[in-house]
Amino acid sequence: MLAALTLALFVDVLPAQSPVPSAAMQWRHIGPYRAGPATMASVSGTLMSAAMAMQGAEVAPTAGQVAACMTARAQLADVMKRWTALKVTGLAGLNAKLKMAGHAAIVVP
């Protein structure tokens, strides 16, 4: 019951631009994806794919691989900025609603 309440309250607190899974993660999902901002999962998958491709090679990374890594690093910076904002402002709003409902606050390390 508390989990359902927390989820319902958190959905109200999440920003309207809440990301949906990216096309990069489509292999993990059945059905179409909507385009949206990068997520931790999509950036992680992109970086892991790039690392595995370069690790198996016996040559220097190509310009395309380097560019893909730079793009993924920029996306990671954006994702972490959004995560920090969500922890600071979104979680504060959720915890206020939980407190009003008589429940304990959620603490994110």
Instruction: Answer yes or no: is 109 within a domain.
Output: no
Instruction: Give the range of the structural domain holding residue 48, as residue numbers without chain letter.
Output: 2-100
Instruction: Answer yes or no: is 91 within a domain.
Output: yes
* Count of the separate structural domains present in the chain: 1
Residues contacting 87, CB < 8 A, separation 6+: 108
Instruction: Answer yes or no: is 106 within a domain.
Output: no
Q: Which whole-number Å values give the CA distances from 1 to 10, 60, 106, in the listed order?
A: 14, 54, 15
* Secondary structure letter of residue 89 according to DSSP: I
Roughly what angle, to the nearest 10 degrees, separates helices 2-13 and 91-100?
A: 130
Query: What is the residue-level pLDDT of the chain in tens, covering all 109 positions?
Result: 455 555 555 554 454 444 444 554 444 444 444 467 888 888 888 888 888 888 878 888 889 888 888 998 999 999 999 988 888 888 888 899 999 999 999 988 7
Q: Rounded to two decimals, what is the model's pTM?
A: 0.59
Residues contacting 50, CB < 8 A, separation 6+: 65, 68, 69, 72
